[in-house]
C-alpha cells in the first residue's frame, strides 16, 4: 500500500469516528441547488460557496464543462432530487486552457505515461505503448474562459431535458483572490 492510501484511510477513521447526525442527512440537497465546476484541487466549492454537508450537489470534471455526463447529473439533481438553481463555475489558470484536442490525442498516441509541460509546451516521454483512441474523444478544452462559461450555460439552458424555468448562472472563480466573477452574457 502507498503512503497516500494509508493517509486517506487514517483520515477517514478520524472523520467517521465523529460522524454523528450526518447519518440522518436527507438525500436531496438542503439548499436545493447544484454546482458544476472543475476538478482542479485548488477549488474547494464547500468553502467558496459556503456549503456544509448536505447543502448542494457538486458535479466536478476537467474544466467544469457541460459534458453529456455533467448534464445527466444535473437532470437527475433536478428531476429526482429537487434542485432549483444551477451554477456553472470555471476558473482562472485552468489546465484545460493549456492544450487542444490535437495535442492531447498526439500525446496519447505517443504513450500512456504522464506528460510534462514547460514554456515550450507539452512533451511526452514517447515511452510507448500509446493509443490512437484519444483522437475519438472531444476533450472539451478551453481557449477562452468566459466564452466556455457562456457556451456551457447556453448548452445546459437549451438542452431538451432541462426545463426553461431553472436559472443557470455562469461564473469564473479567480484562483488569485478566491472571488466568483459573474460572466456577462452567461
Give the pairing of strands 180-182 and 116-118: unpaired
Q: How far apart are CA 64 and CA 162, in angstroms?
A: 18
Strand partners of residue 118 = 121
Q: What is the CA radius of gyration of the chain?
A: 19
Tens-digit pLDDT string for the chain (186 aa): 799 999 999 999 999 999 999 999 999 999 999 999 999 999 999 999 999 999 999 999 999 999 999 999 999 999 999 999 999 999 999 999 999 999 999 999 999 999 999 999 999 988 889 999 999 999 999 999 999 999 999 999 999 999 999 999 999 999 999 999 999 999
List, for residues 82-130, the tens digit of each pLDDT value: 999 999 999 999 999 999 999 999 999 999 999 999 999 999 988 889 9
Q: How far apart are CA 180 and CA 35, in angstroms?
A: 13
Burial of 142 (0-12, 13-18, 19+ CB in 10 A): buried
If you search the block for the grid coordinates 509546451, which residue do you land on?
A: 121
**Other residues' Cβ atoms within 10 Å of the Cβ of residue 2:** 7
Q: How many CA atoms lie within 13 A of 78 on its CB side?
A: 19
Q: How far apart are CA 122 and CA 93, in angstroms?
A: 16
Q: Domains of the chain by range and CATH?
A: 28-96+141-186 (3.40.1050.10), 100-138 (no CATH)
Contact predicate 112/69, CB 8 Å: no
Helix (H, G, I), strand (E, B) or coil at 59: strand
- The C-alpha cell at 23 is 447519518
For the chain, what percent of residues have pLDDT higher than 70?
A: 100
Amino acid at each position: 500500500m502507498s503512503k497516500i492510501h494509508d493517509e486517506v484511510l487514517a483520515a477517514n477513521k478520524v472523520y467517521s469516528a465523529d460522524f454523528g447526525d450526518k447519518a440522518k442527512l436527507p438525500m436531496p440537497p438542503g439548499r436545493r441547488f447544484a454546482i458544476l465546476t472543475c476538478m482542479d484541487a485548488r477549488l474547494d466549492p464547500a468553502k467558496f460557496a459556503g456549503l456544509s454537508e448536505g447543502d448542494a450537489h457538486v458535479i466536478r470534471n476537467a474544466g467544469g464543462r457541460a459534458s453529456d455526463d455533467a448534464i445527466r447529473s444535473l437532470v437527475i439533481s433536478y428531476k429526482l432530487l429537487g434542485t432549483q438553481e444551477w451554477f456553472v463555475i470555471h476558473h482562472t489558470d485552468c489546465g484545460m486552457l493549456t492544450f487542444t484536442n490535437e495535442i492531447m490525442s498526439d500525446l496519447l498516441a505517443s504513450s500512456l505515461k504522464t506528460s510534462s509541460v514547460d514554456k515550450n509546451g507539452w512533451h511526452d516521454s514517447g515511452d510507448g505503448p500509446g493509443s490512437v483512441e484519444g483522437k475519438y474523444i472531444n476533450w472539451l478544452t478551453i481557449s477562452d474562459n468566459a466564452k466556455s462559461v457562456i457556451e456551457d450555460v447556453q448548452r445546459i439552458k437549451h438542452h431538451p431535458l432541462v426545463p426553461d424555468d431553472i436559472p443557470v448562472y455562469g461564473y469564473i472563480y479567480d484562483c488569485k483572490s478566491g472571488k466568483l466573477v459573474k460572466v456577462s452574457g452567461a
